[in-house]
Chains A and B, each alone.
Chain A
């Protein structure tokens, strides 16, 4: 299957700081990437759809000014959690696919812990 990487794998930060998470598609170009969040023992919840060269589309209830998404190239999307708080501690995962009707593959995830 396709290879998707995320960096960092885990991060611990102080409350009030910002954290940037990168998602890269390594063997194909991705026009669209999706960002999910998963709290412990819960399912994945879609946060936003990242579109190369245009603004991200956020799901209802997700603050676009808090979760900044940039999709500057066909292989890289970044999610920046601004002014992080302990309630933002979660597992953040990106997915992408070569085409809209192809299988979506997950990055390995980034575990964020805000102290």
Chain B
């Protein structure tokens, strides 16, 4: 199975940077995903890491260290619309199922 941990809540100021950490313990690994979910909506895909290192996509970057079972999502130049829940998900290498962390609620304040 998968055990995925991420902080429950984070608050930051508009224009700032926030880093959301995710640690996982897995019986099989085939990639780590980050999704954004606004209240009442389905998650939307943000990033995918399967190899160690940093993936940058505009204001969002994601990092993975497989040996440490660790990832982070970096949100730069925060905007009010970035207030949402951010979900870390690990895919296994058997049925390719996603297991989700509990999500981190990010609140951006003016």
Q: Say what secondary structure dominates the interface of chain B.
A: loop
Binds A, one of B17-25, B54-62, B72-80, B98-106: B98-106
* Cβ-based interface call for A13 (8 A): no
Interfacial chain B residues near A43, Cβ < 8 Å? 87, 100-103
CA distance A59 to B77 in the complex (A): 40
CA distance A109 to B102 in the complex (A): 18
The digit string for B75-107, where 1 denotes a CB below 8 A from any CB of A, is 000000000000100010001111111110000
Interface size class of A (residues with CB under 8 A): 20 to 34
Q: Is the CB of B87 within 8 A of A108?
A: no
For residues 65 through 98 of chain A, which have their beta carbon under 8 Å from a beta carbon of chain B? 93, 95
CA distance A57 to B33 in the complex (A): 23
Interfacial chain A residues near B44, Cβ < 8 Å? 106
When C-beta atoms are compared, the residue in chain B nearest to A2 turns out to be B45
CA distance A103 to B30 in the complex (A): 11
Q: Is the CB of B98 within 8 A of A34?
A: yes
When C-beta atoms are compared, the residue in chain A nearest to B88 turns out to be A43
* Cβ-based interface call for B28 (8 A): no
When C-beta atoms are compared, the residue in chain A nearest to B99 turns out to be A46
Q: A1-B45, A103-B33, A109-B41 are in contact. Are A44 and B95 (CB under 8 A)?
A: no
Q: A43-B100, A101-B31 are in contact. Are A57 and B95 (CB under 8 A)?
A: yes
Interfacial chain A residues near B96, Cβ < 8 Å? 32, 100-101
When C-beta atoms are compared, the residue in chain A nearest to B47 turns out to be A103
Q: Is the CB of B101 within 8 A of A106?
A: no
Interfacial chain B residues near A42, Cβ < 8 Å? 102
A35 to chain B, nearest CB (A): 11
B46 to chain A, nearest CB (A): 10
- 4 closest cross-chain pairs (CB), A and B: A109-B42, A106-B42, A100-B96, A43-B100
In the assembled complex, 17 residue pairs joining A and B whose CB atoms fall closer than 8 Å, in A order, are A32-B96, A42-B102, A43-B101, A44-B43, A44-B100, A45-B100, A46-B98, A46-B99, A49-B95, A57-B95, A93-B42, A95-B98, A103-B33, A103-B45, A104-B33, A104-B45, A111-B40
